[in-house]
Amino acid sequence: MDIALLKQYINVYKQNLAKDPEKHTKDLAERKERIAFYQSWTKERILSMTEENFYDYLSRLWAMLIWGNKHYVVDKMIADNGFDTQKRELSELIWGASPIIKRWDNFLKSVKGFGPATISEILCHVYPDQCMLWNRRAYVGLNYLGVTGLPKYNYQMTGKKYAELSGVTQEIAEEMMAEGVENVNLLTVDYFIWDELQVEENLSNIYAAGKKPKKAPIVEEKLDTASAEFIHNEIRDKLSDIGKWLGFNADTEKKVAEGSKVDTIWESTIGNMGRIIYVFEVQTKGSIDSLIINLLKALNNPAVQGVVAVSDAAQLDKIRKHAEQVPNLGAKLKYWDYKKVLEVHDALEMVNESINSLGLVPQGF
């Protein structure tokens, strides 16, 4: 990390605090309120939550700003995980006796619908002196400071990496205190990163590379089964998010025809005429023949209007060559590079976060 650059921006932060003390007072009060709220949810209170309590608990998170209809998202989490399981795993993540590295990894493996931004925000509010808040803004800020080894994708944010980056953020907090900033914790560092270090305006550039790699992208690497599953599931879930933001009813792991369970679907009903479905299959590892057979079965459903294979450039080329030899598939199958999926997700996430922060549509509407 470039300490000289960090100190330069800490001094800018101090100057801005002096220019606008009202903002500083407001931000400090907001941090204290958020910490008090989340720390008040003891293990026993979490285990006795009602569904409405759970909604209130999650809807306050900044990570939820990307969703206009937060009730829909929370209800989906409850349906996917089971409410008792959801509460038990959440209480263990926050208040469990195991090290944070293990609690983080166990929670991600056990619960659907939570990403690193949501998990880290909860932990930062409960443990503001130990746990950082990780999101796209943190990536941009730390990258600008020269911190290496930052995870670009959710599956790369393991418990070990989260603990490592929390340590880096603690170093920033120490530098801020050394420069005379008061009331500093890791939530303060998040405000500092947000206010001063968003030097890369187009956050979708997170996924852009200076040069095209000579070899296939990351999903073409030799992966163990667990890593391949994490990559697959992240892309599958982000495809679902994109569909929802575009106005479709989107879901994952859905049966659309006999013998065909697909990764993601986008579905829309057209008046009283029926429905249309778009099918997405993510390929990170495994048999291409199995993928093609699954897509052919999906096309047996007359509501399926399009099928899309999602993978890296190298595998998409292989899939295209296989599909061209299959009657009734080659002309119908579309191809989407997974890196483009991630870029589109980031762009739409920024749009939704910005619009929803305006509060144009009340949650009770």
Q: Is 159 left (phi over 0), alpha (psi -120 to 50) or beta?
A: alpha
Distance (Å, whole) CA 214 – CA 134? 30
Helix (H) or strand (E) holding 176: helix 159-178
Task: Tell me the per-residue pLDDT of 296-328, one tens digit each, with 9 for 90 and over.
Answer: 888 888 888 889 999 988 889 889 888 888 887
Decide if 188 contacts 177 (C-beta within 8 A).
Answer: no
Q: How many CB atoms lie within 10 A of CB 141?
A: 24
Buried b / exposed e across 310-329, counting CB within 10 Å, b at 16+?
Answer: bbbbebbeebeebbeeeeeb
Q: Of 214, 198, 174, 183, nearest to 35 (Cα)?
A: 183
- What is residue 98's three-state secondary structure? coil
Structure tokens at 105: 């990894």
Mean pLDDT of the chain: 86
Predicted TM-score (pTM) of this structure: 0.78
**CA distances (Å), 32 to each of 25, 65, 349, in order?**
11, 20, 27
Distance (Å, whole) CA 299 – CA 277? 10
pLDDT at position 199:
75
- Say if residue 115 is exposed, middle or buried (CB neighbours under 10 Å; 0-12, 13-18, 19+): middle
Place of tokens 């697909």: 262
Distance (Å, whole) CA 164 – CA 158? 10
Distant-in-sequence, close-in-space partners of 277: CB < 8 Å, separation ≥ 6 = 256, 265, 266, 267, 301, 303, 304, 305
Distance (Å, whole) CA 71 – CA 67? 9
pLDDT at position 210:
45
Domains of the chain, residue spans: 3-212, 219-348
Strands (E), the chain: 249-257, 260-270, 274-282, 304-311, 333-337
- Fold classification of 219-348 is Restriction Endonuclease (3.40.91)
Torsion 358-139-197-25 (CA) sign:
positive
pLDDT at position 290:
85
pLDDT at position 218:
37
φ, ψ (nearest 5 deg) of residue 306: -165, 145
Distant-in-sequence, close-in-space partners of 110: CB < 8 Å, separation ≥ 6 = 85, 89
**What is the widest separation between alpha-carbon atoms in the chain?**
70
DSSP annotation of 286 reads: S
SS3 content of the chain, % helix, strand, coil (to 5): 60, 10, 30
Q: pLDDT of the chain along its 365 residues, tens only?
A: 999 999 999 999 999 999 998 988 999 999 999 999 999 999 999 999 999 999 999 999 999 988 877 888 899 899 989 999 999 999 999 999 999 999 999 999 899 889 999 999 999 999 999 999 999 899 999 999 999 999 988 888 999 999 999 999 999 999 999 999 988 999 999 999 999 998 755 444 555 554 443 333 333 445 455 555 667 888 999 999 999 888 898 989 888 878 778 999 999 988 777 788 999 999 887 788 888 888 888 888 888 888 999 998 888 988 988 888 888 787 789 999 988 998 898 888 888 877 877 766 555 44
Decide if 124 contacts 190 (C-beta within 8 A).
Answer: yes
